[in-house]
Amino acid sequence: MRCSVVIMAGGSGERFWPYSRKEKPKQFLPVAGEGTLLQQAVRRARLLVPWSNIYIVTGCQYLGLVREQVPDLPPENLLVEPVGRDTAPCIALAASLLKARDPGTVMVVLPSDHMILDEKRFAEAIRDAVAVAKETKGLVTIGIRPTRPETGYGYIHVGPISRVEMGRALRVRKFTEKPDLETAMAFLASGEYLWNSGMFVWEVRAIQDALERYLPELACGMRPIAEAVGTASFDAVLAGHFPRLPRISIDYGVMEKADNVWAVPGDFGWDDLGTWTALERVAGKDADGNLVQGQAVLVDTRETIIRSDSGKLVVTFGLKDTLVVETPDVLLVADKKRAQDLKAVLNELRRQGLDRFLQRLTTPGPW
């Protein structure tokens, strides 16, 4: 299988605060499973390709973390963005490098912060998507078969999921943003929708043609960078031009507009770990529905998530549907049902000038 895997590892992971901080976001942390989320993503990539065909795109502030956690990655396969510009510029940068090295390769784009329980079936789905990308010359995404009326995910309308048009793929009719609960229930009942996983597969030529067509400003801004690939001036050109690229996601900028888009249905225990409550779907709970990571004593406590990283004993009494996250410098206690709205808390911290608690672990000072 002639393909290359690009892992995007530049996200901030704000909805896993205070465990995830800007200095060390969730992809570099052990959240669930063996190793950090980035290490798990690399392990899955190794099921598909050799080390020489694995690329990681990250921010300059995370360069040391990537090298520490993935020491076997060839240094020339680590792409460093001067600033974060969302997924479309990230993918355009990786495509430019791959075009210079192997223009005929199929590009597999994976996020670094997802949880996948059945890695064998994941690899099978990616191989199917590679075959579809080569056959159709189109843009292929992995769509997850929905198991609940989820309002935190985008959806892909493909028509009856049981119907297959190209291999295991279905032609995409429309992308839909995160729906309300009533709409999500209708999507689930119809049997015609998949969750948008944010995993993509395409030939390098196909994605570059799509960028030229649907994001001409981005494509134009990338040309000096692409021309400098492999030269001594590459770092300087990247630093000069990349920050001026438009900030836009590949979903909004390309996938929602393109007409040759396919989805391969996947069923391999996927979760994007977007909020604290996602842990309940990938980690074990006790008989009272509690999920505990760390040292804790629970009394008359049900359906509660507890994460403790400071070494302190956490004791709860009479709690239900609560989120408790304890770090050396922050204690978060929240209504678990509102975990998806955690950014409101972060915005309030910024308003009060407490940004330091969003950036890194700090040493608590005196009262």
pLDDT digits (tens, 9 = 90+) for 270-298: 998 888 999 998 888 999 999 999 999 99
Q: What average pLDDT is seen over the chain?
A: 93
pLDDT score recorded for residue 166 = 56
Q: How confident is the model at residue 32 (pLDDT cuts 50, 70, 90)?
A: confident
**pTM of the model as a whole:** 0.92
- Determine whether domain 3-271 maps to CATH 3.90.550.10: yes
Residue 364 has pLDDT above 90, yes or no: no
Average pLDDT over residues 175-192: 93
Average pLDDT over residues 14-33: 91
Extents of the domains making up the chain: 3-271, 276-359
pLDDT score recorded for residue 152 = 87
Distance CA 25, CA 23 (A): 6
In eight-state DSSP terms, residue 166 is: B
Q: Is 285 helix (H, G, I), strand (E, B) or coil?
A: coil
In eight-state DSSP terms, residue 169 is: B
Average pLDDT over residues 325-338: 94
Distance CA 92, CA 236 (A): 18
Q: How confident is the model at residue 300 (pLDDT cuts 50, 70, 90)?
A: very high
pLDDT digits (tens, 9 = 90+) for 108-166: 999 999 999 999 999 999 999 999 999 999 999 999 999 999 988 999 999 887 665 55
% residues pLDDT > 70 (the chain): 96
% residues pLDDT > 90 (the chain): 86
Average pLDDT over residues 16-36: 92
CB atoms within 10 A of CB 69: 19
Distance CA 294, CA 326 (A): 9
Nearest to 79 by CA among 273, 224, 242, 214: 242
Residue 218 has pLDDT above 50, yes or no: yes
pLDDT score recorded for residue 68 = 97
